[in-house]
Amino acid sequence: MNKHYLWGILLCSVAVLSWGGMFPIMGPALKIMDPFNFTLWRYGIVAIIFAILLLVKEGPKAFSPEKHFFKLWFLGTSAFAGFSFLVFLGQKLAGTSGALIASVMMAVQPLLGVLVVWCYRGIKPRKSVVISMLVAAVGVFLVVTKGDPGQLISGNHVGVATSLILLGALCWVIYTTGGADFKTWSILRFSTLTAIYGVGSVSIILFIATKLGWLDFPTWMQVKTVGWALVYMITLAGVIAVFAWNLDNRLVGPLNGILFMNLVPVTSFVITIMRGYQITSFELLGCLLTIGVLVANNLVNRKQNY
């Protein structure tokens, strides 16, 4: 096993473990600050950090989008506006079980990626992938409903929350898939420009929403109260995880990197249990079923590709 592969495994682990921890941490923070302004604070600072690093390392010319402005803007908006807005709004609506639902949805991203690649590059999924998607859907259903289908149509917004989280996960898959078109760029350059354009979209959306009276600017006390959550989301789940994820997919390949996404719900489950949440047998079964079928699908693809 060469050094590049070992570094890739380490980076994969850092990224997904950081993301696995962000959902339990965001739970209390979302009760204090709305997910939209939180996103601006989080990724606004992340974009500034990336910009400083890029300026020092590659110089002012690296900020030129060349002929890719609209693609970079679309990918950045999908990742840094669409993902955060939809996933964390869904988590907030889902209440106490939001962290578990969101983390399981992140594990489903590899299968969402198959659909995106099919639409974007015209590569049809194999039968084994389709079967895996159906089984994974059953696992997600068990986690979301806790064995009670009535949860989806009750007044607790679980159905709406799950749909929002799924769309948010799809936004991140689009970002990851589109990143493969920038192989000649450094990881830092791609991460920086998409973050800057994404934050630009976030700022415009928040400005309009605030002017229309849909949102209020957070008070300093709110920002101070969620300070530790912001630090975690900016550093570990922001700068480090985003950079590590974009780099590790080049080092070990997407097929290997995607397998590590299964650690996201595992991490969230452990942290959630440690914080006193009582997990039902249906939630545990659903998580194990989803992770199991995703690992099996990855191993099948590995045999067929090598």
Q: Residue 194's pLDDT band (boundaries 50, 70, 90)?
A: very high
Q: Residue 123's pLDDT band (boundaries 50, 70, 90)?
A: confident
- Give the model's pLDDT for residue 88: 92
* Mean local confidence (pLDDT), 127-137: 74
- Give the model's pLDDT for residue 292: 79
The rounded percent of the chain whose pLDDT value lies above 90 is 37
Q: What is the pLDDT of residues 88-120, one digit of tens each?
A: 999 888 877 777 788 777 777 777 877 887 887
- Give the model's pLDDT for residue 211: 93
If DSSP codes are grouped into helix, strand and coil, which group holds residue 214? Answer: coil
* Res. 47: pLDDT tops 90: yes
Residue 35, token pair as written in the block:
């997910």
From residue 196, how far is each of 11, 52, 65, 182, 199 by CA, in Å?
23, 12, 11, 16, 5
Q: What is the pLDDT of residues 139-186, one digit of tens each?
A: 777 776 776 666 555 555 777 888 899 899 899 889 988 888 898 999
* Mean local confidence (pLDDT), 211-226: 92
* Mean local confidence (pLDDT), 67-92: 94
Question: How far is residue 21's CA from residue 274's CA, in Å, rounded to a whole number?
Answer: 12
Furthest-apart CA pair in the chain: how many Å? 56
The rounded percent of the chain whose pLDDT value lies above 70 is 87
Of 11-15, 23-27, 58-62, 86-90, the poorest mean pLDDT is in 11-15
| Structural domain count, the chain | 1
* Res. 234: pLDDT tops 50: yes
Check if the beta carbon of residue 111 is closer than 8 Å to that of residue 133.
yes
List, in order, residues 6 or more apart from 246 with CB less than 8 Å away: 179, 187, 190, 191
Tell me the pLDDT of the chain averaged across its residues: 83
Highest mean pLDDT among 17-21, 71-75, 134-138: 71-75
* Res. 134: pLDDT tops 80: no
Question: How far is residue 177's CA from residue 254's CA, in Å, rounded to a whole number?
Answer: 9
Question: How far is residue 186's CA from residue 195's CA, in Å, rounded to a whole number?
Answer: 14
Of 20-24, 90-94, 280-284, the poorest mean pLDDT is in 280-284
* Res. 306: pLDDT tops 50: no
Question: How far is residue 156's CA from residue 159's CA, in Å, rounded to a whole number?
Answer: 8
Of 19-23, 52-56, 144-148, 231-235, the poorest mean pLDDT is in 144-148
| HEC letters along the chain | CCHHHHHHHHHHHHHHHHHHHHHHHHHHHCCCCCHHHHHHHHHHHHHHHHHHHHHHHHCHHHHCCCCCHHHHHHHHHHHHHHHHHHHHHHHHHHHHHHHHHHHHHHHCHHHHHHHHHHHHHCCCCCHHHHHHHHHHHHHHHHHHHCCCHHHHCCCCCHHHHHHHHHHHHHHHHHHHHHHHHHCCCCHHHHHHHHHHHHHHHHHHHHHHHHHCCCCCCCCHHHHHHCHHHHHHHHHHHHHHHHHHHHHHHHHHCHHHHHHHHHHHHHHHHHHHHHCCCCCCHHHHHHHHHHHHHHHHHHHHHHHHHC
217 lies in which domain range?
3-305
